[in-house]
Structure 1
Amino acid sequence: MSTSLLLSMSSFALVASISPGPVNLLVLSTGARFGWRRAMPLVIGASAGFTLLLWLIGMGLSEIWMRLPWLRVLVQLAGVAFLLWLAWRLLASTAELEVDPSVQPAGAMTGAMMQWLNPKAWLASAAGMGIFVDAGNALGVTGYALLWGAICLLSISVWALMGGRMACWLTSRARQAWWNRALAILLVASALALLVG
């Protein structure tokens, strides 16, 4: 594999992984509320879920995705419903400065599920595999999935760290309430974008 191809693959994966989206917003929120360390199971789950999705698409799942329009609609509607539910939880949450020890941050399964319910993750995976890997090349599919998975893990970790750094700014109830509302609005906008896109 040439250096320029590896650089192109990595750049594509980085832009797709680090750009704002529902998973990154949830990780940012979790990092701000619970700290970056407690957000890491969510980060790992989202990265692993995406890597598995990417690998399966490269191994042929994209054919099913393209041939069954009802599956695309089902994933889209489930993703929108999930984002709206997360937005509602943010809006309904109290602006508590102390984290209740009984409240747990979103975990690995939530991260993985968000990737599988995100049509943009499906489309980015199909596009990346289509651009960079020859059909039927199992070694190429596996290598690209592992490369993108590692970049995804690092990219989403940046969002957890940013959230953790924001925790010191969110020291008042007013700021916490504003933060929850802003993130809820961004999640609703992401849900609407999924419906339009």
Structure 2
Amino acid sequence: MSHALLPFALFAFAASISPGPTNLLILAHAARRGWRASLAPVLAACAAAAGIVLVVGLGLSDWLLGQPQVQRWLGWLGVAWLSWLAVQMLRSASAPLRQAHAPTFGPGAAAGLQLLNPKVWWMAVAVIGVFASPTLPVWLLAMVFLLVALPCMAAWAWLGASSARWLQTPGALRWFNRSLAGLLLASAWFSLW
């Protein structure tokens, strides 16, 4: 195996555990729906991110880097969707956690978010540019990324589910949702710079 596998695994860990739009939404979803209900979105988001690494490594990065308009369009589309999600969080800031009609963050939305998340695309381009080599092929990078990302994102879900105990009061829940919405907006808009 390549000597670059450990540095890549550390990079994948840092990219996966750091706060970002998907991690924040998984956290909020787990606080509302529980850890088990968040496992399918976690798996879908991680698989989609690993798929993006694979697709970028198979040649999309060359095309994408040559298309600044497409990059800009994807960035703005992602920011618009994340901003809409943040507004939804603000609107439900003090709604009870276990509300029957509360919005869910299902596997399709989690995977779709990865397609629009600028952080994921830039991470994938960096992965391929820095770590891809004949001894560390693209398929292996995608697989290792998936294996590293799963426990990282599951930790965010566990943190959200664990926080549900202290979110039973309307004031704490309002503070939590407003904070997450603000962080989501910040992570979305800062990703454009």
Class of the TM-score when normalised by the shorter of the 2 chains: over 0.9
- Counterpart of 1:106? 105
Normalising by structure 2, we get a TM-score of: 0.94
Q: TM-score, normalised on structure 1?
A: 0.92
Structure 2 regions of 5+ residues with no counterpart? none
Which residue identity is paired with 1:39?
S
Q: CA deviation at 1:40?
A: 1.3
CA separation in 2, counterparts of 1:191 and 1:98? Answer: 24
Amino acid at match of 1:15: A
2-structure distance, mates of 1:168, 1:62: 44
Q: Counterpart in 2 of 1:178?
A: 175
Q: In the TM superposition, what whole-angstrom CA distance separates every residue of 1:62-118 from its partner, at most 9, and x where no partner exists?
A: 011101111101110011001110110011115233523344521111111111111
Q: 1:104 to 1:37 in 2, by over 3 A?
A: farther
The CA deviation at 1:160 is 0.2
Q: Is 1:187 equivalent to 2:189 in the alignment?
A: no
Residue 37 of structure 1 aligns to which amino acid in structure 2?
R
Give yes or no for the alignment of 1:20 onto 2:19.
Answer: yes
Cα contact 2:128–2:138 (8 A) shared by 1: yes
Extract unaligned runs of 5+ from structure 1: none
Q: State the AA in 1 paired with 2:108.
A: M
Distance 1:104 1:89 in 2: 9
- Give the equivalent residue in structure 2 for 1:88: 87
- Match for residue 168 of structure 1? 165
Contact 2:17–2:149 (Cα < 8 Å) also in 1: yes
Give the Cα separation in 2 of the matches to 1:144 and 1:169. Answer: 39
Residue 194 of structure 1 and its aligned partner are, at CA, apart by 2.0
- Residue matched to 1:140: 137
The C-alpha deviation readout for 1:13-40, integer Å capped at 9, x for no partner, is 0001100011100011111111111111
Distance in 1 of aligned mates of 2:131 and 2:125: 10
- For the Cα contact (< 8 Å) 2:75–2:116, is it kept in 1? yes
Q: How much does 1:9 deviate?
A: 1.3
- The secondary structure found in structure 1 opposite 2:100 is coil
Q: In the TM superposition, what is the alpha-carbon distance from 1:138 to its structure 2 partner? A: 10
Q: Which amino acid aligns with 1:89?
A: Q
Please say if residues 38 and 105 of structure 1, whose CA atoms lie closer than 8 Å, have aligned partners that are also in contact: no
Q: Which amino acid aligns with 1:81?
A: A
Deviations 1:40-72 (A, max 9, x none): 121111111101111000000101110111110
